[in-house]
Structure 1
Amino acid sequence: MPDALSRHLTAFVQHLASEKRYSPRTCDNYQRDLFRLAAWLIAGNNTDWGSVSRHDLRRYIASLSRQGLGGRSIARHMSAIRRFYQYLLRERLATDNPALDIRAPKASRRLPAVADVDQLNHLLEAEPDDPLEVRDRCMFELMYSSGLRLAELASLDVNSIDAKGGEVRVIGKGGKARVLPVGRKALATLSQWLPVRAGLAPEPEPALFVSRRGDRISHRSIQARLRRWGITRGADQKLHPHMLRHSFASHMLESSGDLRAVQELLGHADIATTQVYTHLDFQHLARVYDQSHPRARRSNPLDDEDTR
Structure 2
Amino acid sequence: MQSLQNAVSNWLDHLAIQQHSDHTLAAYHRDVMAFLNYCQTQNILINKIQLSDLRQYLSYCVEQKHWSNQSIQRALSAIRQFMQWLQQQQKFSEDAKFKDFKIKREPRALPGMLSPENIQQLLDQPAPENESENWLWIRDKAMLELLYSSGLRLSELVKLKLLNIDWTEKMLRITGKGNKTRIVPFGQKAYSALRIWMDYRLQKNISHDYVFIARSGQQISDRQVQNRIKQQAKRAGLSADLHPHLLRHCFASHLLSASGDLRAVQEMLGHSNLNTTQIYTHLDFDHLAQVYDQAHPRAKKY
Aligned equivalent of 2:138, options 124, 134, 144: 134
Q: Flag structure 2 segments of 5+ consecutive residues without an equivalent.
A: 129-133
CA 52–278 in structure 1, closer or farther in 2 if over 3 Å, else same:
farther
Q: Which residue of 2 aligns with 1:76?
A: 74
Q: CA deviation at 1:11?
A: 1.9
Q: Which residue of 1 aligns with 2:300?
A: 298
Q: Which residue of 2 aligns with 1:109?
A: 108
What SS class does the counterpart of residue 125 from structure 2 fall into?
coil
Q: CA deviation at 1:200?
A: 5.5
| Root-mean-square deviation over aligned CA pairs | 2.0
CA 95–283 in structure 1, closer or farther in 2 if over 3 Å, else same:
farther
1:233 aligns with 2:231: no
Alpha-carbon distance between aligned partners in 2 of 1:83 and 1:201, rounded to the nearest angstrom: 49
CA 103–289 in structure 1, closer or farther in 2 if over 3 Å, else same:
farther
CA 289–90 in structure 1, closer or farther in 2 if over 3 Å, else same:
farther
Alpha-carbon distance between aligned partners in 2 of 1:84 and 1:291, rounded to the nearest angstrom: 52
Q: Which residue of 2 aligns with 1:52?
A: 49
Q: CA deviation at 1:244?
A: 0.5
Q: Which residue of 2 aligns with 1:180?
A: 184
1:161 aligns with 2:158: no
Q: Which residue of 2 aligns with 1:93?
A: 91
Alpha-carbon distance between aligned partners in 2 of 1:146 and 1:54, rounded to the nearest angstrom: 44
Q: CA deviation at 1:298?
A: 2.7
Give the % identical residues.
38
Q: CA deviation at 1:272?
A: 0.3
Q: Which residue of 2 aligns with 1:305?
A: none
CA 93–282 in structure 1, closer or farther in 2 if over 3 Å, else same:
farther
Q: Flag structure 1 segments of 5+ consecutive residues without an equivalent.
A: 302-308
Note the alpha carbon deviations across 1:1-24, whole angstroms, 9 max, x for none.
x2133221122222222x111111
Note the alpha carbon deviations across 1:25-55, whole angstroms, 9 max, x for none.
111111121122122212211242x321111
Q: Which residue of 1 aligns with 2:217?
A: 214
What SS class does the counterpart of residue 100 from structure 1 fall into?
helix
What SS class does the counterpart of residue 249 from structure 1 fall into?
helix
Alpha-carbon distance between aligned partners in 1 of 2:62 and 2:287, rounded to the nearest angstrom: 38
8 Å contact from structure 2 (residues 69, 105) kept in 1: yes
Q: Which residue of 1 aligns with 2:131?
A: none
Note the alpha carbon deviations across 1:257-291, whole angstroms, 9 max, x for none.
21111111111111001112542233433443444
Alpha-carbon distance between aligned partners in 2 of 1:200 and 1:212, rounded to the nearest angstrom: 12
8 Å contact from structure 2 (residues 84, 99) kept in 1: no
Aligned equivalent of 2:151, options 140, 147, 159: 147
8 Å contact from structure 1 (residues 33, 80) kept in 2: yes
Aligned equivalent of 1:258, options 257, 261, 269: 261
1:65 aligns with 2:92: no
Note the alpha carbon deviations across 1:110-163, whole angstroms, 9 max, x for none.
111112211111111123332122111101100100000011111111121112
Q: CA deviation at 1:243?
A: 0.4
Alpha-carbon distance between aligned partners in 2 of 1:148 and 1:23, rounded to the nearest angstrom: 17
8 Å contact from structure 1 (residues 112, 246) kept in 2: yes
Alpha-carbon distance between aligned partners in 2 of 1:268 and 1:47, rounded to the nearest angstrom: 39
Q: What is the letter of the counterpart of residue 30 of structure 2?
A: R
